[in-house]
RNA sequence: GGGCGGUUAGCUCAGUGGGAGAGCGCUUCCUUGACACGGAAGAGGUCACAUGUUCAAUCCAUGUACCGCCCACCA
């Protein structure tokens, strides 16, 4: 064999992936005869790129799908992409701007065509990146939220919810993103802490200001143009006399507004009096509704001051922030600005565009959430939906308990256009197609002249039905029957509201079952000092670069090993990739060793007769069995970090460091090739879900059944024998080897020079031979010592200068004495003996006895040393 | 303001009611016929602080400090 000394993932990974996909290993058909294992991929933005976050959510999905496929289940990972309405539209608008165009210059049809083109051009990229990372979803089933089938499902859902009274159109206070020129849902707001000012402003009782007035505090003076009242707390003595009076509205002083009392006012904050602007503030909107106040607007969709509803004097047409400055200036000039204080507060911004969101009154479409939330809460409370880690369930619960109606209409063009039409006199017709709408309109309103609503739906509307829409709903497909619900949803904590809760609500409503029984929330990936990855800090790590540098397997292992069930963050260190690359190299070289064995590997994967197995064989088979059981349990519990750690330890520290070294002993020559290939084949299968490429490459190079490891069977611990008692003997031998090596280092023996060991005759020959090999020693048989193997091995002594041995024995005596003291102290404590569990006390006694016995032996050795030979 | 995490070796992090662990980094030795992307041997920690529960606390409870995440209309 002439394999390179270093494993080269770049030469292996793309080649194997191509093979897997071509041969359709990731594809699966619904099969009611086998248990399903389905994962719906959270659809990434169609034009997005892979980032580290995909590492922590998509790698586990791939791991689980591969694992369950190997278990023989009907496993399929259903992929797809999302049209990402606002994000895509924003990019296109920006692109147009560079060409000196605006959206309207193009017109809806051409704009949407361009969006399609853009999605197709860049749409394949993220999927190509996922392939490079070894992710193996069933690409043949890939869906796009805008494709025909899913669009039809969206229309069906909308129409049905509308007809059942759960979708309505109404004028409500919504969040307006002035730069995206669209509404944004509550869940898509991002609150940012900012330094601003708190202005105190005098609202005088008389126009000339001679009669005093009320001071209020505000952070947004420009909205005062739309004030309709001043509110105070009903029991605030300072304002008791003011309630019911009127004050003049600065700075124009052209109209007066009432002073009202409302419990919502906090007397402690500011001046205890608050201006009420129902059209531009959520709380004020509630107060306004309670008190039936008028709701004039003064900020328009361009975030400019408008005088459409109410006089705004010279401020008309000004940008909101320019207006703020002007108004403050004018207030100051009129002596109505009482005070300005710096004030840190949080501002609502749009997650997508980053612009400061304006609360505005607007006629929009909404989903009534309360009736949908109730069953979704019940499903969580009775355990039909479970979160891992559990604590995220409370986040879900809390949000659903305080849910508000969901504004679903967006004023953008890229997305699912509302299936809503209007008659010339403005009556609405909701239908799945234009033809149906006309028919309906004719029947109900006697006209077929219709105009379609120009709005599109919130992106999350189509993602909310993802778990069943991608299975062909509303058609009754085989997929839908076998694969709904899926087994687990894996995603980041930031979209529990945006997505997870909505899938549960809509899944329950349309499919009458939760879309998944388990929700696994993966940790957020930060940089190594705990900062969010961001372009502006420049700490973004690109997984593609890592895959290029270290290999996709290394990248996957680096992420998996850092995952812990309960943790909410990963501080990602690139050095983890390097470690994993080294690990892969270790695997590669162990394989090279096996392939270079002079006797060659057997052609089939079979173990030698049990009686011929050596102590080392018995030990590694036992360890393999334990490892298989452990990894199965860990993967079943989504504990990827410990699963990765477990296979890592087995391969490196047990298989390579010990077993493989032991096979260099003469005694192992007969069985080693078969055992090596058997254990390694199993180890590769255990590793495959985590590191699919190298495991396949090695598996194919070894004796194996079948054409690919992808569809190979998961290792079965009952398929081969284990020898727990003999495995323990090997472990005692390991301890002895370590003891000898330690002494060698202390004596300063050159690693290649042999030391002489006096070995009691009661140590079995096979173990003595291993000891000679692993400790680089020459064995001198000596009279027997003790009965148990443990005692016999403890009797192994190294021939070394007396001073070194003496020093060592002294240290040992010291250590043993301190352990004995501790044990004696404990056992002489009456309270301990009386109250501690019997087993604990017994264990303590055993330990003490063992230490005493060992001390006696060491002291005897020490004495023997001092006696002249 | 509320809720939830975290604080363990220089760094990143596991872990357990009864003798403190890993990887990297560091020190020493070793190119022994798989691998220097390697092997062997080591050094290094009052487990944030305080109080309590317990025979026993790094682990449980309460509080404090600091770091972080999520939620919230405090104008």
- How does pLDDT run across A637-689, given as a tens digit for each residue? 999 999 999 999 999 999 999 999 999 999 999 999 999 999 999 999 999 99
Question: What's A465's DSSP letter?
Answer: T
pLDDT digits (tens, 9 = 90+) for A79-126: 999 998 888 898 899 999 999 999 999 999 999 999 999 999 888 899
Count of other CB atoms within 10 angstroms of residue A824: 14
Q: Assign residue A100 a region (left: φ > 0; alpha: ψ between -120 and 50; beta: otherwise).
A: left
Residue A856, classed as helix, strand or coil, is: helix
Q: Between the CA of residue A299 and those of A302, A393, A728, what are the distances in Å?
A: 8, 39, 79
- Predicted confidence at residue A822, as pLDDT, reads 85
Q: A63 pLDDT band (50/70/90 cuts)?
A: very high
For nucleotide B13, give the residue with the nearest CA to its C1': A562
**Calpha distance A156→A421 (Å, rounded):** 15
3-state SS track over A324-357: HHHHHHHHHHCCCEEEEEEEEEEEEEECCCCCEC
Measured between its terminal Cα atoms, the distance across chain A in Å is 54
| Position A534 pLDDT exceeds 80 | no
Question: What strands lie across the sheet with A167-177, from one edge to the other?
Answer: A182-184, A167-177, A358-367, A406-407
Q: Between the CA of residue A843 and those of A689, A787, A837, what are the distances in Å?
A: 40, 22, 10
| Position A255 pLDDT exceeds 60 | yes
Q: A204 pLDDT band (50/70/90 cuts)?
A: very high
Helix (H) or strand (E) holding A359: strand A358-367
A549 touches strand B (CB under 7 A): no
C1’ B12 / CA A264, Å: 48
**Calpha distance A707→A361 (Å, rounded):** 64
CA A303, chain centre distance (Å): 37
A351 touches strand B (CB under 7 A): no
pLDDT digits (tens, 9 = 90+) for A313-334: 999 999 999 999 999 999 999 9
A569 touches strand B (CB under 7 A): yes
**Calpha distance A370→A400 (Å, rounded):** 8
Which positions of chain B lie under 7 Å from any protein Cβ?
Answer: 3-6, 11-15, 18-19, 23-24, 28-32, 34-42, 54-56, 67-75
Residue A133, classed as helix, strand or coil, is: coil
| Position A869 pLDDT exceeds 60 | no
Q: What are phi and psi of A590, to 5 degrees?
A: -65, -40
Beta bridge partners of A428: A422
Q: A293 pLDDT band (50/70/90 cuts)?
A: very high
pLDDT digits (tens, 9 = 90+) for A448-460: 999 999 999 999 9
Q: What is the greatest pairwise CA distance in chain A?
A: 122
pLDDT digits (tens, 9 = 90+) for A354-408: 889 999 999 999 999 999 999 999 999 999 999 999 889 988 999 999 999 999 9
Average pLDDT over residues A251-277: 90
Query: What's the mean pLDDT when you consider all of chain A?
Result: 92
Q: Give just the sign of the alpha carbon dihedral A146, A147, A153, A156.
A: positive
C1’ B31 / CA A750, Å: 14
| Position A164 pLDDT exceeds 60 | yes
A404 touches strand B (CB under 7 A): no
C1’ B35 / CA A30, Å: 45
Lowest mean pLDDT among A269-278, A464-473, A784-793: A784-793
Residue A625, classed as helix, strand or coil, is: helix
Q: Give just the sign of the alpha carbon dihedral A409, A411, A415, A417.
A: positive
Q: Give just the sign of the alpha carbon dihedral A276, A279, A283, A287.
A: positive
CA A613, chain centre distance (Å): 45
Q: CA A778, A781, A787 angle in degrees (round to 5)?
A: 125
**Calpha distance A413→A539 (Å, rounded):** 34
A411 touches strand B (CB under 7 A): no
**Calpha distance A116→A180 (Å, rounded):** 19
In 3D space, the residue among A172, A165, A186, A170 whose CA is nearest the CA of residue A404 turns out to be A186
A741 touches strand B (CB under 7 A): yes
Name the residue with tokens 């254990």.
A679
A750 touches strand B (CB under 7 A): yes
In 3D space, the residue among A217, A205, A267 whose CA is nearest the CA of residue A242 turns out to be A205
A779 near A725, Cβ under 8 Å?
no
Average pLDDT over residues A606-616: 95
For nucleotide B24, give the residue with the nearest CA to its C1': A575
Q: A1 pLDDT band (50/70/90 cuts)?
A: very low
Identity of the highest mean pLDDT range in A58-72, A284-298, A842-856: A58-72
**Calpha distance A179→A200 (Å, rounded):** 30
Q: A475 pLDDT band (50/70/90 cuts)?
A: very high
Q: What are the structure tokens assigned to A243, written together?
A: 């309630």
Q: What are the structure tokens assigned to A450, written together?
A: 């219709």
CA A783, chain centre distance (Å): 62
Chain A residues 472-491 with Cβ under 7 Å of strand B are none
Name the residue with tokens 């060592």.
A808
Q: What are the structure tokens assigned to A719, written together?
A: 């398929």
Q: A2 pLDDT band (50/70/90 cuts)?
A: low
For nucleotide B28, give the residue with the nearest CA to its C1': A745
Average pLDDT over residues A601-630: 94
In 3D space, the residue among A830, A810, A806 whose CA is nearest the CA of residue A818 turns out to be A810
Residue A180, classed as helix, strand or coil, is: coil
A528 CA: nearest nucleotide by C1':
B12
| Position A785 pLDDT exceeds 70 | no
Chain A residues 48-107 with Cβ under 7 Å of strand B are none
A656 touches strand B (CB under 7 A): yes
Q: A806 pLDDT band (50/70/90 cuts)?
A: confident
* Residue % of chain A over a pLDDT of 70: 99
3-state SS track over A38-64: EEECCCCECCCCCCHHHHHHHHHHHHH
Q: Between the CA of residue A468 and those of A83, A145, A480, A547, A582, what are the distances in Å?
A: 18, 12, 7, 33, 43
- Predicted confidence at residue A302, as pLDDT, reads 92
pLDDT digits (tens, 9 = 90+) for A617-636: 999 999 999 999 999 999 99
DSSP codes, A666-683: GGGTTTHHHHHHHHHHHH
Q: Between the CA of residue A867 and those of A861, A863, A864, what are the distances in Å?
A: 10, 6, 5
- Predicted confidence at residue A868, as pLDDT, reads 62
Q: What are the structure tokens assigned to A641, written together?
A: 């970090």
For nucleotide B2, give the residue with the nearest CA to its C1': A398
Predicted ipTM of the assembly? 0.94
Q: What are the structure tokens assigned to A698, written together?
A: 């090695």
Q: A154 pLDDT band (50/70/90 cuts)?
A: very high
Question: What's A501's DSSP letter?
Answer: I
Per-residue burial over A56-89, b if 16 or more Cβ lie within 10 Å, else e, is: bbbbbbbbbbbbbbbeebbbbbbbbbbbbbbbbb
Name the residue with tokens 């109730």.
A374
A616 near A730, Cβ under 8 Å?
yes
A355 near A167, Cβ under 8 Å?
no
**Calpha distance A553→A9 (Å, rounded):** 8
pLDDT digits (tens, 9 = 90+) for A728-776: 999 999 999 999 999 999 888 999 899 999 999 999 999 999 999 999 9
For nucleotide B11, give the residue with the nearest CA to its C1': A528
pLDDT digits (tens, 9 = 90+) for A75-87: 999 999 999 888 8
A269 touches strand B (CB under 7 A): yes
**Calpha distance A687→A631 (Å, rounded):** 10
């Amino acid at each position: 064999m002439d394999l390179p000394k270093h494993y080269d993932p770049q030469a292996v990974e793309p080649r194997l992936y191509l093979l897997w996909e071509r041969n359709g290993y990731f594809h699966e058909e619904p099969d009611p005869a086998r248990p399903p294992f389905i994962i719906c991929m959270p659809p990434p933005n169609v034009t997005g790129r892979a980032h580290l976050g995909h590492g922590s959510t998509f790698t586990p999905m791939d791991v689980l799908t591969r694992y369950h496929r190997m278990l023989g289940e009907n496993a399929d990972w259903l992929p797809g992409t999302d049209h990402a309405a606002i994000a895509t539209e924003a990019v296109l608008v920006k692109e147009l701007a560079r060409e000196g165009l605006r959206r309207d210059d193009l017109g809806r049809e051409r704009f949407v065509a361009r969006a399609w083109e853009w999605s197709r051009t860049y749409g394949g990229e993220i999927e190509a990146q996922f392939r490079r990372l070894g992710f193996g979803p069933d690409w043949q089933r890939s869906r796009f939220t805008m494709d025909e089938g899913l669009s039809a499902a969206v229309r069906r859902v909308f129409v049905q919810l509308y007809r059942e009274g759960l979708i309505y159109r109404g004028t409500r206070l919504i969040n307006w993103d002035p730069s995206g020129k669209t509404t944004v849902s509550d869940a898509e707001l991002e609150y940012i802490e900012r330094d601003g000012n708190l202005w105190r402003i005098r609202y005088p009782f008389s126009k000339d200001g001679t009669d005093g007035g009320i001071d209020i505090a505000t952070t947004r003076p420009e909205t005062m143009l739309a004030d309709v009242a001043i509110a105070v707390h009903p029991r605030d003595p300072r304002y008791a006399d003011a309630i019911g009076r009127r004050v003049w509205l600065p700075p124009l002083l052209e109209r007066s507004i009432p002073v009202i009392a409302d419990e919502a006012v906090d007397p402690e904050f500011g001046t205890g009096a608050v201006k009420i602007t129902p059209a531009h503030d959520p709380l004020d909107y509630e107060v306004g509704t309670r008190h039936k106040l008028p709701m004039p607007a003064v900020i328009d969709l361009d975030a400019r001051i408008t005088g459409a509803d109410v006089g705004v004097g010279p401020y008309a047409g000004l940008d909101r922030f320019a207006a703020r400055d002007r108004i403050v200036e004018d207030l100051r000039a009129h002596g109505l600005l009482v005070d300005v204080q710096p004030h840190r507060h949080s501002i609502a911004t749009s997650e997508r565009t980053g612009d400061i969101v304006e609360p505005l009154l607007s006629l929009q479409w909404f989903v009534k959430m309360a009736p949908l939330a109730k069953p979704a809460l019940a499903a969580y409370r009775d355990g039909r939906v479970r979160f891992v880690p559990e604590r995220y369930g409370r986040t879900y619960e809390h949000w659903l308990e305080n849910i508000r109606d969901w504004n679903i209409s967006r004023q953008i063009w890229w997305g699912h256009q509302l299936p809503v039409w209007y008659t010339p006199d403005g009556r609405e017709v909701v239908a799945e197609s234009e033809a149906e709408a006309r028919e309906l309109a004719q029947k109900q309103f006697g006209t077929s002249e219709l105009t379609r609503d120009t709005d599109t739906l919130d992106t999350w509307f189509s993602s909310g039905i993802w778990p069943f829409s991608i299975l062909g709903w509303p058609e009754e497909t085989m997929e839908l029957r076998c694969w709904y619900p899926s087994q687990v949803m894996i995603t980041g904590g930031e979209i529990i509201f945006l997505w997870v809760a909505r899938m549960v609500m809509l899944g329950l409503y349309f499919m009458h079952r939760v879309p998944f029984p388990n929700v696994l929330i993966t940790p957020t990936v930060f940089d190594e000092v705990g900062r969010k990855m961001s372009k502006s800090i420049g700490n973004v790590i690109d997984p593609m670069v890592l895959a290029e540098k270290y290999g996709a397997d290394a990248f996957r292992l680096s992420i998996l090993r850092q995952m812990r069930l309960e943790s909410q963050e990963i501080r990602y260190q690139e050095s983890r990739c390097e470690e994993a690359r080294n690990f892969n190299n270790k695997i590669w070289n162990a394989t090279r060793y096996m392939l270079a064995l002079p006797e060659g590997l057997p052609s089939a994967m079979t173990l030698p007769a049990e009686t011929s197995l050596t102590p080392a064989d018995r030990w590694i088979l036992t360890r393999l069995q334990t490892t298989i059981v452990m990894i199965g349990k860990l993967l079943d519990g989504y504990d990827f970090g410990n699963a990765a750690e477990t296979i890592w330890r087995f391969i490196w520290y047990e298989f390579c460091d010990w077993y493989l070294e032991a096979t260099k002993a003469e005694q192992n020559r007969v069985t080693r090739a078969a055992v090596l290939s058997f254990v390694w084949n199993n180890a590769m299968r255990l590793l495959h879900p985590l590191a699919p490429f190298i495991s396949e490459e090695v598996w194919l190079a070894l004796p194996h059944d079948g054409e690919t490891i992808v569809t190979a069977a998961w290792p079965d611990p009952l398929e081969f024998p284990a020898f727990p008692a003999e495995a323990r003997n090997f472990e005692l031998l390991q301890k002895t080897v370590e003891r000898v090596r330690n002494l060698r280092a202390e004596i300063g023996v050159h690693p290649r020079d042999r030391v002489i060991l006096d070995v009691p005759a009661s140590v079995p020959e096979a173990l003595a031979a291993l000891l000679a090999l692993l400790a680089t020693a020459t064995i001198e048989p000596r009279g027997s010592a003790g009965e148990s193997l443990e005692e016999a091995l403890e009797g192994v002594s190294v021939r070394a200068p007396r001073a070194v041995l003496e020093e060592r024995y002294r240290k040992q005596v010291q250590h043993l004495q301190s352990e004995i003291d501790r044990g004696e102290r404990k056992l002489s404590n009456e309270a301990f003996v009386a109250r501690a569990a019997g087993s604990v006390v017994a264990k303590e006694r055993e330990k003490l006895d063992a230490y005493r016995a060992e001390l006696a032996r060491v002291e005897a050795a020490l004495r023997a040393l001092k006696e002249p030979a």
